[in-house]
Amino acid sequence: MALDPVLMRSMSMKTGVIWGNPSEKGFERIGEDNTTLPCNNDELIECYQGTLKAAGIADEKTVPQEIAELMKDMLRDAPYIKGAWMNKFQGKNYLQYASPETQFNVYCDGVYISDNPLGPFVLAENNPYSFKPGVFFPGAGHCSTMKDQYGNLWHASTLRISVNHQFERRLGIWPAGIDCDGELFCNQRYEDWPIKIEQKKMDPWAEPEWYLLNYKKAMFASSFTKEHESENAIDENVRTWW
């Protein structure tokens, strides 16, 4: 018997869903069609030139090609928000998504809130709610949020390496929750330090019981490769190694 990989129900069973037929048609919204189509070439050129003018740039040739391409990608209104995930907590629907640019340290997750799973959605005040641009293992985008059997919320996203490959990543998981204002949060203050996970309801803001002792200590090695000195082993940078 074939099972739906998400719902784990027989493929022959009728199941009410809100996302239609994503494998063939992408996202389908019930009700009024308020689709916004990407800019055509003429609209994009006009929008790009207007953006440069507003920024005080008279000659577009002075803009580096890679920056110009990036600006046009942002201005064309083509869909590239990714990592969509929705949870319902306390009667509210939290539509989460990842920003573009997996390969950068500022890769992060944002969230919209609605009373209805089909919207309209309002951008949450706490945004991006998953954001970790620095220290040992930066990046916190491409999300999912889950609840364990003890009622604790956990947020999982990808961490950036981007050394061997542009999209080289690993998975990270952090304590999460809903605050008194109904805002989804993710505690990433001590992400790189080990924390104790107990089989009970936990405080998502609890500080770790351990801390780093070896950061920037003196290191010696009998041999090393150029640009991979032994001190790289304790520099708290996932992109370097000894």
171: domain CATH number is 2.115.10.20
Q: What pLDDT sits at residue 60?
A: 87
In a domain, 26, yes or no: no
Of 17, 52, 79, which residue sits at a domain end?
79
Assess if residue 170 is contained within a domain. Answer: yes
41-54 vs 65-75: helix axis angle to the nearest 10?
110
| Residue 216, domain member (yes or no) | yes
Per-residue model confidence as pLDDT tens digits over 124-168: 999 999 999 988 888 898 989 999 999 999 999 999 999 999 889
Residue spans of beta strands (DSSP E) within the chain: 82-89, 92-98, 109-114, 122-123, 141-147, 153-160, 169-178, 184-186
CA distance 118 to 99: 21
Exposure class string for 29-46: b at 16+ Cβ within 10 A, else e: eeeeeeeeeebeeeebee
Give residue 17's identity as a one-letter amino acid code. V
For the chain, give the percent of residues with pLDDT over 70: 84
Domain limit, last residue, from 28, 48, 79: 79
Q: How many structural domains comprise the chain?
A: 3
For residue 203, tell me if it sits in a domain.
Answer: yes
pTM, two decimals, is: 0.70
Q: Looking at the predicted structure, is the pLDDT value of residue 236 above 60?
A: yes
pLDDT digits (tens, 9 = 90+) for 210-225: 888 888 889 989 999 9
How far apart are the C-alpha atoms of 197 and 109, rounded to whole Å? 24
Both 166 and 111 in a single domain?
yes
Considering the domain boundaries, does residue 226 fall inside one?
A: yes
User: What residue numbers bound the domain in which 237 lies?
Assistant: 212-242
Q: What pLDDT was estimated at residue 215? A: 85
**Position 169 in a domain:** yes
Q: Give the burial class of 227: count Cβ atoms within 10 A of its Cβ; 0-12 exposed, 13-18 middle, 19 or more buried.
A: exposed
On the question of pLDDT at 27 being above 60, the answer is no
* Residue 149 and residue 160 in contact, taking contact as beta carbons nearer than 8 Å: no
Q: Given a cut of 90, is residue 104 above it in pLDDT?
A: no
How many angstroms separate the CA atoms of 139 and 142, rounded? 10
